[in-house]
Structure 1
Amino acid sequence: MEATELIKKVRKIEIKTRGLSQNIFAGEYHTAFKGRGMIFSEVREYQYGDDVRDIDWNVTARHNHPYVKVYEEERELTVMLLVDVSGSRLFGALGEEKREMIAEIAATIAFSAIQNNDKIGVLFFSDKIEKFIPPKKGRKHILFIIRELLDFSPESKGTDIGGALRYLTDALKKRTTAFVISDFIDDAESYRTSLSVAANKHDLISIQVFDKRDTQIPDIGLIRVKDLETGGERWLDTSSKRTRQALSKWWYDRQQKMTETMRHSGVDIASIATDEDYVRALMALFQRRGVR
């Protein structure tokens, strides 16, 4: 992308997403994520009513009397965006391309984070770790992230969500609020274990961006289709009812497996089509978390 065009796009997305985060998301973001992170404060003697799960068994053994760990609310969060940059994000039949919506959603979350004095970082992944931007604060950092969201060129085209989750678990020792933003065109079984481990350590949220042509295709006759991740091409007879039903079943089965995997690990997920209003979907996600 040319420098002047990139600057214009960065400015356009900044104006739109900063406005959304200031006027719409600020309160919901704070309610949904603030206070969920807890840090160790001190050890004191056990008192009636304390949760036995907080007992510090090492201190208890030394003093021959029960002691519990006391935690306090974290005033500052670290937010990570795990952004899928695989080949399938380039698909766009209805609405905008997936990558454009992914960039806007990520930028909106980023601006919401810095308005709440949180750090924000990004991990770009395909079937490998493409780039890691450490969490920082400030508008300059946000604009750098937006430029990368719009103009980053990955080395690979495949998808490995499990690999991204393992990297998150290993790289960030402190509890983090992490958003996985992807179309989730990956085998849920391949990242099931990594998802559970990451969700146990971090506050994990999944945002699926998909095109409705991923779910079903119209009867438009014989067409040539290309897999944007593998590069493979084939002819597809969309006039065949069996072919259209097979595609719909493939999507439905994969969605069911993905949803079950998220539920098993206690991970919230929002699925947003490229021709839908992502603002409404994010609001619903934040509000759902905020009333817990």
Structure 2
Amino acid sequence: MEVWPRIEAMIEAGVACVLVSVVATRGSVPREAGARMIVRPDGAFHGTIGGGALEWQAQAHAQALLSGNEPARLIGQALGPDLGQCCGGHVTLLAERFIATDLATVRQLAAQERLGAFRTMAELRDGRVVRKVLTGAADDLAVGGPVFLEAWGDTRTTLLLFGSGHVGRALVLALAPLPVRVLWWDGRQGAFPPAIPASVLVVAGHWQALLDAAPEATQVLVMTHSHALDLAIVAAALADPRGLDVGLIGSASKRARFAGRLREAGLPDDRIAALRCPIGIPGLAGKEPAVIAASVAAECLILAGHRATTATVQRPTARRA
């Protein structure tokens, strides 16, 4: 969830808010450390720390901060004894209020988040939260109260989406709230809808240039208006030496036809076998665009998780002399 740019926008609009963060957990709990929500004076909120009684109590603490002079508070909740929840674990929350006088600090953190993921060390000192942006493992903060290591900014999967038909349009809506950065291409004039989610970037130019500029671990989904164009993009994506994840909309028979063409073009069998077609997770009935989009969005997250796990397991270790 985007945090500091959203808080920045609220303060600039004259709206105070409270950031509630899960800073420590023990045992079975609804959300992990790092889960956050932003609470407004009107009761609206963004994000979640787990729902149910825990979130209800956190919102009450947030409203108390907004109506008083206390800038921050640390809240410990034993989910079973305190809230009657079945999880039975313990959660420590940090709630902190942001008002107009905090705008300069918030702007610095918002600018940092726009650059990408980063870490801070936060210390609760004399009832206020003091943060330091970490630039290396050796960074320290003078300890005068509870100290927490914080991670900010989403680690987003990059998805190249070729085609803006019904399924493509449904898919960008399904992916909008998820940690996925969509680069959307369609060579036809006027092919895109008038309203596009902020997490989606429409890309002009030739499709090959988009493919060439793609970062590592990019996912490619092909669903253009033309089977010939689909084949050209799929062939180029499968031939890419980075081993991109490639999906093609269509049936098993379309996949069989494409596999034959790809083999004729000289692509190796292991890359042809890697082509996903049909796309989406199995077991979901229905061919409506929204249903297909939900299935493909779930598959996108599964693939991203698998890549992250594989990268962690296969990360090379330092060689000994």
TM normalised by structure 1 equals 0.26
**Using CA pairs below 8 Å that are at least 6 residues apart, which structure has the higher relative contact order?**
1
TM normalised by structure 2 equals 0.25
- When Rg is computed on C-alpha atoms for both structures, the one with the higher figure is 2
The structure whose residues are more often helix, as a share, is 1
